[in-house]
Amino acid sequence: MLNLLVRRCKIFILDIETLGVESTSVILSTALLYFDEKQEYNFDELVSKCCFVKFDANDQIKNYKRTVDKGTIEWWKGQAIETRKLSISPSENDVSTEKGIKLLKEYIRDNSVEKKEICWIRGTIDQTCTESLCRSLGVPPLFEYYQFRDIRTALDLIKETTKKGYCNVHGFDYSKVAKHNPIHDVSMDTMMLLYGK
């Protein structure tokens, strides 16, 4: 069944962290992972293969009028300190909106073989926010609309799970995964897609 859904074998998976739930929300960080369904991976290998971009949130607000939701800011206050440091706290690793999108496009270019690989996402906000941000910059989207697939739906169908888009990976140490760390999120989704039960 997996092969029917991921026939192309080489696939992207995307996850973003935001300051809201609208398409115009500030994107704090993005993780993008390219993997080959025919290869074997462990979680640490997937983490090391990720492209991670930490955006300068103020650049998006000031120059592109991206929006911030107060409820989402309150939600972030309840997340783990390390998770907040990675995505929401300003750092010397922050890049401008333009540079961040450029880095993601370069990763796609350098890894894409067919130029039409599918991109797994969890829900729709990753697609709508990244497309909106690219429109603000006046550049083409990271992926065409028809390349996106929902990982939750896939896991529910393939793994026949009732866990709302999640499944178990036998023998996996779940303590390695930090919630709302986009690097861990894309790596864990890949583990579930490839090895979940």
Provide the residue-wise pLDDT of the chain in tens; the chain has 197 residues.
Answer: 454 454 456 799 999 999 999 999 999 999 999 998 889 999 999 999 999 999 999 999 999 999 999 999 999 999 999 999 999 999 999 999 999 999 999 999 999 887 789 999 998 999 999 999 999 999 999 999 999 999 998 888 887 776 778 888 989 998 999 999 999 999 999 999 999 88
pLDDT of residue 85: 95
Residue 177 CA to chain centroid, in angstroms? Answer: 15
Q: CA-CA distance, 154 to 8, in Å (whole number)?
A: 15
Query: Domains in the chain, start-ordered, CATH in brackets?
Result: 2-195 (3.30.420.10)
**Strands annotated E in 102-181:** 119-121, 148-150
Non-local CB neighbours of 147 within 8 Å, separated by 6+ positions: 116, 117, 118, 119
Spell out a b/e string for 162-195, using b for 16 or more CB atoms within 10 Å of the CB, else e.
eeebbbebeebeeeeebebbbbbbbbbbbbbbbb
Dihedral angle of Cα 193, 143, 56, 43, to the nearest 10 degrees: 20
Structure tokens of 50? 């990720």
Q: CA-CA distance, 161 to 78, in Å (whole number)?
A: 29
Tell me the sheet residues that pair with 10: 36
pLDDT one-digit tens code per residue, 163-179: 778 888 989 998 999 99
pTM for this model (two decimals): 0.92
Structure tokens of 13? 């998976």
pLDDT of residue 159: 76
Spell out a b/e string for 85-105, using b for 16 or more CB atoms within 10 Å of the CB, else e.
ebbbeeeeebeebeebbebbb
